[in-house]
A = this chain, B = another copy of it.
Amino acid sequence: MKLNATKIPIKVGNKYIAILNEKRAHFLDFHEGDRAILKIKNKPALRVIVDITKNSELTENSIGLYEDTWEKLGVKYGDDINVSIAEKPISTIYIKEKLNGIKLSKEKINKIIEDVVSDNLSDIEISYFVAGCYVHGLDDQETVDLTKAIVENGSQLKFKNRIVADKHCIGGVPGNRTTMIIIPIVSATGIAMPKTSSRAITSPSGTADTMETLANVVVEAPKLKKIIEKVGGFMTWGGGVDLAAADDKMIQVRNPLSLDPQGMLLASIMAKKFSVSANRVLIDIPIGPQVKINSKKEGIVLKKRFLKLGKALGMRVKVIFTNGDEPIGHGIGPNLEAMDVMKVLRNEPDSPKELREKSLEMAGMLLEMCDKALPFRGKAMATKILNSGKAYEQMMRIIDAQGRKKNTLRPGKFSKAIKSLKTGKVTSINNALVSHVARTAGAPKDPTAGMYLHKKIGDKVLKGEPLYTIYADSEERLSYTSEYPLQKVYTIQ
């Protein structure tokens, strides 16, 4: 059946969709979500998902195409498009098997991921895959197969015969910007550190958001490879490049219900490392009441799976448990966190101690894992590199390679200090509340917004002394934060 192409001036992202009038759909026996093959003479065919509209403006003899589909097909105005029914992809059968609790073979997992990447599966179908993995879990073999499938169906950065190191933190701790200190230290020794990070979803800032205050973080794969060859390290946004593209799509359908099937979480993290050819990976699992992993017991289960998965992928993996009780640095929010990082890199006297210490510990471990330092000597080596200014210099090289930002790092113009109502000792800081307040002040979209924590757990505090200061770039945003119980961010005893 030939239909007249009608352009709909909207890009829907990487999904190809054709819209049919209800009557035409009924006549052609199409149901919402079915696939069709579209074909224009002398051009390659395209598989699309069918949307059905009751709109009278789209006639029975027309087919509506969003801009992406229009361009991909190479339509010219007036073109007739041949429309035919496409079979459902076989991967829908495998997804149903997973929902039924059947273990999936490598081939089936690969087919599912291939269809996720090539938009052969709709969001609804991908949701069912996530649901199956969530309810029935993924065993070790399935997790390895999923990881490999994600890597193989996306771009990869390949480095031959080179030690490539990476690190990852199972999020949840605000102000945990160790990455921006570890990468300069380790890559200053010649070890490749191609680091992609995420933006904040529910936190006040992701590493990519904080790094973005200093440098461009949206860099495409070929340039990334050149940066590694030139300066040995980068810190960019993972979503800006199609490494592990399938994972990004699955995360989109996981978000609405915050579904984190453990096997998918593992595959998601390790696929990103594997796709940049990392062979030395350090995993940081903060444990605390308000982070993802709440007990050491849970942490140990996860650690074992990381080690197994790393072994199957041919990586040397080390997993450490760290303190997830309180934010790591003093600054919360993109600019404030970047200021903390720069203080540490510049060896300034008031640089945040825990951030410096945790970064040196982890950089030291990576130096040992990469055989740059002898056992137990890594931290000393990392400290030497940091103190010598070489880490700072390396950071400058990385920033220049990615593209330096010209803005000055400063906190928001409007601020409000929250003072202690009594004299005592800080016994806890509520991470979740810290995130809410900083986001309400405008972080991460406003990089100047956030908080500065004057006191940390164990610090003594006098009545009337400021506990923390909230920053925002408008009085209105600052006033919004009063909705929260601001005194409850800290517990003083």
Residues of A in contact with B (beta carbons under 8 Å apart): 8-13, 19, 26-29, 31-33, 51-55, 57-58, 64, 67, 88, 92, 95-96, 99, 101, 122-125, 127-128, 131-132, 134-136, 201, 252-253, 255-259, 439, 445
Contact = CB atoms under 8 A, between A and B. Distances in A.
A368 B248 CA distance: 60
A453 to B, nearest CB: 22
A220 to B, nearest CB: 15
A11 B54 contact: yes
A134 B51 CA distance: 25
Given A125-B257, A256-B122, A445-B28, A64 B96 contact: no
A99 B135 contact: yes
Contacts of A51: 12
Task: State the number of copies, please.
Answer: 2
A387 B58 CA distance: 50
A259 to B, nearest CB: 7
Contact of A13 (B54, B57, B99, B259): B54
Contacts of A11: 53-55
A89 to B, nearest CB: 10
Given A99-B131, A99-B257, 5 more contacts: A10-B19, A10-B64, A96-B257, A122-B256, A124-B253
Contacts of A19: 10
A29 B440 CA distance: 11
Contacts of A10: 8, 19, 53, 55, 57-58, 64
A53 B13 contact: yes
22 contacts: A8-B10, A9-B55, A9-B58, A11-B54, A12-B53, A29-B439, A33-B255, A55-B67, A57-B67, A88-B256, A92-B256, A96-B257, A96-B258, A123-B124, A124-B256, A125-B257, A127-B127, A127-B128, A127-B131, A131-B131, A132-B135, A135-B136
A96 B12 CA distance: 28
Name the 6 nearest CB pairs between A and B, nearest first: A131-B131, A11-B55, A127-B127, A124-B127, A135-B135, A11-B54
A357 to B, nearest CB: 32
